[in-house]
Amino acid sequence: MKLYTKTGDKGKTSLLGGRVSKDDLRVEAYGTVDELNSFIGRAVTELDQQVFKDIIEDLESIQHELFDCGGDLANVMKERKYKLQEQSIEVLEKRIDTLTEEVPPLKRFILPGGTPASATLHIARTVCRRAERRVVSLVNVTEDVPTVVQKYLNRLSDYFFAAARAVNHRSNVKDVEYIRGGDVFK
């Protein structure tokens, strides 16, 4: 099988059920989800397999769910069956709570960084926010978007923040507080 098809040479791409321009909002949305998935893969390579076993398992599960999100976003067939389920959001919320309990309480905003893996998770958080914005843009022009994808991406960015802090904490690296602001979390 060849990796190239030449079918996109004129700026069009295939969806599940149709073809659109490569700069279509739907393509932008699932393309940004794909970019996010790549940063997660990088984060996994930067984590110690023993110390961060739980987070690696989370991230690998999230990668599969992001493939589901991409497929759901690319689906424009008349009869649709979406893959991503609300249960995925509930799992994220439980993991966010668990990881948050592990780290010192926040008083100030923190700067992205610390360990390489934590920095990559912060990049994933910001790319996730962009993916969410792309989905919101798509929702604003069509109702043919599963609402669970938007909710999932919103919660997922919170997960990346919690995971980035847990990675620093387990690595004995302090989060760097934003010093120009006061205490904002009480």
Architecture of domain 20-177: Up-down Bundle (1.20)
What does the H/E/C string look like for the chain?
CCCCCCCCCCCEEEEECEEEECCCHHHHHHHHHHHHHHHHHHHHHCCCCCCCHHHHHHHHHHHHHHHHHHHHHCECCCCCCCCCCHHHHHHHHHHHHHHHHHCCCCCCCEECCCCHHHHHHHHHHHHHHHHHHHHHHHHHHCCCCCHHHHHHHHHHHHHHHHHHHHHHHHCCCCCEECCCCCCCCC
As a whole number, mean pLDDT of residues 56-67 equals 98
The pLDDT value recorded for residue 172 is 98
Domain ranges (residues) in the chain:
20-177
Among the residue ranges 45-49, 71-75, 93-97, the one predicted with the least confidence is: 71-75
Residue of higher predicted confidence among 77 and 38: 38
Could you tell me the pTM of the whole model? 0.93
Among the residue ranges 24-28, 92-96, 151-155, the one predicted with the least confidence is: 24-28
- pLDDT surpassing 90 at residue 10: no
The pLDDT value recorded for residue 186 is 66
Residue 116's pLDDT band (boundaries 50, 70, 90)?
A: very high
